[in-house]
Chain A
Amino acid sequence: MLFSIYGLISASFFMSMDAVDVAFTEAAVGAGVSPLLMLATLASVGRYQKKPTDPEIPKVALLLVIITGILLIIGTLDMPAFGAADAPAHQHVAPRYIKESPEEIGIPNMVTSVLASYRAYDTLGEVVVIFTAGIGVLSLLNFRRRRRNIHLIDDIIAIDEHKILRIVSKILIPPILIFGLYVQFHGDFGPGGGFQAGVIFAAAIILYVLFFGVKYAHQVVNQTFVRVFSAIGVLLYGSVGVVSLLNGKNFLDYHVLAENPTTAQHIGILVIELGVGITVACVMILIFFSFIENIEKVIQELRK
């Protein structure tokens, strides 16, 4: 709970520091997905911890932490003041992005144009990392695949019926999904993009699982579909790069996609953001389902 509140607070001060895109992501991830995964882990490993065996360790650790902290604070004395416009960070590539990206790329949101066009190669790497993490979670948690349709968690949910929560979530989920799509396709003009849309979309599905149980969620979100699409997102992104390679340009050079350079950038950004969105949403849903299934496994073993 506290962790979730911490996430929401971080989101709000990212907002106050003008980082609207980051605030979107942090609100969905920090306040929604990440605490849920923590809780799911605690549900399967147990919530009690042992008393520390050696009482000296925290004291030594505290000393070490204080020394490091003081050294770091001394280090900051030379740093530029908060919000200073002449800080070194704003002198190198940022002015170019700010001045030229609106003409060069033709979209108002600079964050999107840097993310999806100037640094598209980086972003491809990050999408691949997310995809790999998804595969890792799947291979770690679904090590013994058992096809059974017993949904123990659903039994627990059905014991105490949360009628009010269910009705509220029924009203809330469709607008969240539509908002996710809006963030996805409006990312060029306003704050948004594939990463934000992906986590918002996944948050809506996760909300559905929490209130209606795994059985119905499996009917809504087909597992094989999610698995296939998490790969298709990466494939879509990569194939844009391959298309430009085959046309004799550099990898991820969008200019081959259309005659007009800004139209080409538009198409390129739209397609790769779609790829990012699909992968992020599918991997998040996949990870959440793996954690839920693991809790079921643990409950089963406890009942034996």
Chain B
Amino acid sequence: MILDLFNYWVVIALMMIGFFIVIARGNLVKKIIGLNIFQTSVFIFYISAGKVNGGTAPIVVEGAKLYSNPLPHVLILTAIVVGIATTALALSLVIRIKANYGSVEESVILKQDKL
């Protein structure tokens, strides 16, 4: 069934939305939001790859035979927290750029750099 692949298409749609924001918008804050959307699409990709039909959450319980794959959960769990820490770092860089250049627009910053 071709519809079995819909999870990948959702991921690709989100990923492309994020990608579009990153390349088409000059505002640095918007670029970071785009990167964040891109990042969540990767999270969803991993988690959906770990899902097993009929499986349950990977915590041992009586009577459960099939579990979802715990490995992607571990990777993404830490990636989310690392992601917020690095996003905070990026945002603080933006704040510093604003303080020094007086703008967060890519075009304005590039113009000032050329002078």
Contacts and interface: CB of A to CB of B under 8 A. Distances in A.
A64 B23 CA distance: 10
Interface of chain B, main secondary structure: helix
Given A34-B84, A82-B5, A85-B53, A108 B60 contact: yes
A82 B78 contact: no
B80 A17 contact: no
Contact of A18 (B33, B58, B76, B95): B58
B59 A290 contact: no
Interface of B: 1, 4-9, 12-13, 15-16, 19-20, 23-27, 29-30, 32-33, 36-37, 40, 43-44, 47-61, 66-74, 76-78, 80-89, 91-96, 98, 104-105, 107-108
A9 B77 CA distance: 16
Nearest to A280: B81
Contacts of A133: 82, 85-86, 88-89
Given A94-B69, A137-B88, A196-B77, 13 more contacts: A21-B77, A22-B47, A22-B80, A25-B81, A50-B105, A98-B70, A108-B60, A109-B58, A129-B85, A134-B85, A136-B92, A291-B92, A291-B95
A90 B47 contact: no
B68 to A, nearest CB: 4
A199 interface: yes
A37 B91 contact: yes
Nearest to A10: B40
Given A41-B95, A97-B71, A111-B74, A61 B24 contact: yes
A204 interface: no
Contacts of A30: 40, 80
A94 B6 CA distance: 24
B92 A21 contact: no
A212 to B, nearest CB: 22
B51 A136 contact: no
Q: Which of B9, B61, B88 has the most CB of A within 10 A?
A: B88
Contact of A26 (B7, B80, B89): B80
Interface string A15-46: 00111111001100110011001101110111
A278 B95 CA distance: 27
Contacts of B48: 17, 82
A107 to B, nearest CB: 8
A20 B74 CA distance: 11
B97 to A, nearest CB: 8
B107 A53 contact: yes
Given A108-B59, A123-B78, A45 B24 contact: no
